[in-house]
A and B are shown apart, each in its own frame.
Chain A
Amino acid sequence: MIIVIACILVIAAIAFVLGVRAKDLPAPEPVSPFERLDERKAAIYENLRDLQFEYRLGKLSDQDYQNTKKDLQKELAGVLAEADRMKAQIGENGFVPQLEPAPPKPAEPKESGFVCPSCGARFDKDLKFCGECGKPMKAVQA
């Protein structure tokens, strides 16, 4: 009995580990060349947002606020410029021709939900006031 169980255990382990069929192999995932830039951009936006919030709370002096904001904006512009350069490069090489013009910012149609008319934040619930900017957002459904 024990011997049978032991054999089953061994065979099962080996079969599971080595029995990788072709269809189990994942297709290579698309890699975005912008990943790193996106990350940086997101970080800078977060910092800016934080900064604004703290300023609003009165934790920062005007001077500090202005200086840091300027720094962050500069950095952000740098990142955006870098992204544009990459986009242009990709366009030249012909990989992604449709991206050549700096793309406008369309609201993606398949996204649904409730959109704040003043700031564009999106919520899946119907809110009376926008959770982001606080302005009223009566029944504007996307």
Chain B
Amino acid sequence: MRRFRNSLWLLLAAAAVLAQTASEKPSLDVRRVGARLMCQCGCKDSVATCSMLECGFSKPAKERIARMQAVGMSDDQIVQAFIRDYGQGIYLAPPNAFGWIVPYAGVGLGLVVIWLFIRKYRKPAPVAEIGAMEIDDPNLAKYKDQIEKDLAKLE
């Protein structure tokens, strides 16, 4: 399913030309900023989560973030710098609470529906539960024998 992601290995060739030092294990700081930037390699992930090894975009981007952080730029400034270079399209808003609330609201709604369902269909509790196997309605009593006979056969 990630076939498209890998199709971008093409970019690898280009990436190899650029000399960089590897930053395989981005620090938490780099990841935090990287999560706000959309990887432009076509993977739909953020710079922080692009799982393509040697990605032509996210790898140098991570290094650039690290360099910018090293000279003391704030998260905002870094993101702004990327937006200047690549356009507003690169910015990824943090998934707001909405993304979380809606699924759980769905669960909550479902619970309410179940509660209503149970309330609607719950049989009123019988006055007293009797242990005996009696069919109390006389109209039905005549079937009792037949049922018992059939039951014996069922086993």
Which A residues have a C-beta under 8 Å from some C-beta of B? 45, 48-49, 52, 62-63, 66-67, 69-70, 73-74, 76-78, 80-81, 119-121, 132-133
Which B residues have a C-beta under 8 Å from some C-beta of A? 129, 131-135, 137, 139-141, 143-144, 146-147, 150-155
Bound-state Cα–Cα, A68 to B153, Å? 19
Residues of A within 8 A of B133 (CB): 66, 69-70, 73
Residues of B within 8 A of A121 (CB): 153
Do the beta carbons of B134 and A70 come within 8 Å of each other? yes
Which secondary structure characterizes the binding site on chain A? helix
For this complex, 14 residue pairs linking A to B, each with C-beta atoms less than 8 Å apart, are A45-B150, A48-B154, A49-B154, A52-B154, A62-B131, A63-B131, A66-B133, A73-B133, A74-B140, A80-B143, A81-B143, A119-B153, A119-B155, A121-B153
With A66-B131, A73-B133, A73-B147 given, can you name 18 additional A-B contacts, CB distance below 8 Å?
A48-B154, A49-B154, A63-B129, A66-B133, A70-B133, A70-B134, A73-B144, A74-B135, A74-B137, A77-B135, A77-B137, A77-B143, A77-B144, A81-B139, A81-B143, A119-B152, A119-B155, A132-B155
